[in-house]
Amino acid sequence: MLKRAALVVGVLLAVTAGAKPVVVGGTLASATEAPWAIALNNTQSADSSGRYCGAALVRPNKIITAAHCMDEDIATYYAVQGRANLADESVGQASAISKVWIDPRYNTKDNRYDFAVLTLAKPFTGVPVLPLETRARADRNGVVPTVYGWGDTEGTGLDDTLQKAAVPDLGDKTCLAVKSYFSNGYAAATNVCAGYLNGGIDACQGDSGGPLVLNGRLLGVVSWGQGCAQAGKPGVYAETAAVAKALAPQLAR
């Protein structure tokens, strides 16, 4: 099972549970429709665009991403906003990261509480932010959130471009019924199970930390999965409502 961070100096970040690619089977999204979608790039990325993970702007100076994305020196990360095509440096804005907070409950054994709050050295002022979903009941079978990211497309779209995909919430029982997901720590209280049982559409490598959005709120972030867009292997997202209280003081600083 793989986390869905990107490649660093040619080495895939392999772990017990992990992230998926830049939205496989998705469609192009614009920076205008998702101004809070952030590319969390890294100077050590094997990709020339710097692509590494995704994030969401939740305060002018704060972004939320996946804890498992933060495995490099803080000085190597930088956030990019307003750039749907990462190769087009004539648009958008970028900022270094001045501070990182990782949920102290996160661990690589069960991959729960996969959240990190990053403080921007230069706030992205004048940009709409994405409110947090604080209601646990928002994660329910049948709703259809949308995932955003710049990750791998596995041939279903252009590389390094912001893409989106509607991924139906399948309910916790669906992921708990997958033996490998249960053994790798999927938990109803801390995760969202979303995707298609037949596969074909999913997040992927490079999408880790990217936003899962429902009704204009951050329902979760891309966390892990088995392969990308495989039948019977939905995407696993870290659920925002489970950490909203812990995040609050970090966002207020």
Give all domains of the chain, ordered by start, each with its CATH number. Answer: 1-253 (2.40.10.10)
Distance, in Å, from the CA atom of 58 to the CA atom of 123, rounded to the nearest integer, reads 11
Q: What is the pLDDT of residues 22-33, one digit of tens each?
A: 478 888 999 999
pLDDT at residue 6 in the model? 54
Of 115, 146, 137, residue with least CA distance to 36: 146
CA distances from residue 105 to 67, 79, 144, 190, 246 in whole angstroms, order as listed: 10, 25, 28, 11, 10
In this prediction, residues 35-54 reach a mean pLDDT of 95
HSE at residue 204, side-chain half, CA atoms within 13 A, is 28
* Centroid of chain to Cα 107: 17
Distance, in Å, from the CA atom of 33 to the CA atom of 41, rounded to the nearest integer, reads 21
pLDDT-derived band at 154, boundaries 50, 70, 90: confident
In this predicted structure, the answer to whether residue 10 has a pLDDT above a threshold of 70 is: no
* pLDDT cut 90: percent of the chain above it: 82
In this prediction, residues 32-45 reach a mean pLDDT of 97
CA distances from residue 168 to 66, 157, 164 in whole angstroms, order as listed: 21, 20, 13
pLDDT-derived band at 35, boundaries 50, 70, 90: very high
- Average pLDDT value over all residues in the chain: 90
pLDDT at residue 3 in the model? 65
By mean pLDDT, which of 11-25, 38-52, 153-167, 203-217 is the weakest?
A: 11-25
The catalytic residues are 68, 114, 208
Distance, in Å, from the CA atom of 1 to the CA atom of 234, rounded to the nearest integer, reads 12
In this predicted structure, the answer to whether residue 12 has a pLDDT above a threshold of 80 is: no
DSSP states of the chain as a string? -EEEEEEETTEEEE-SS--EEEEET-EE--TTT-TTEEEEEETTBSSTT---EEEEEEETTEEEE-GGG--S-GGGEEEEES-SBTT-TTSSEEEEEEEEEE-TT--TTT--S--EEEEESS--TTSPPPPBP--GGGS-TT---EEEE-S--TTSS-TTB-EEEE--B--HHHHHTSHHHHHTT--TTTEEEES-TT-S-EEETB-TT-EEEETTEEEEEEEEESSSS-TT--EEEEEGGGTHHHHHHHHT-
Distance, in Å, from the CA atom of 184 to the CA atom of 200, rounded to the nearest integer, reads 23
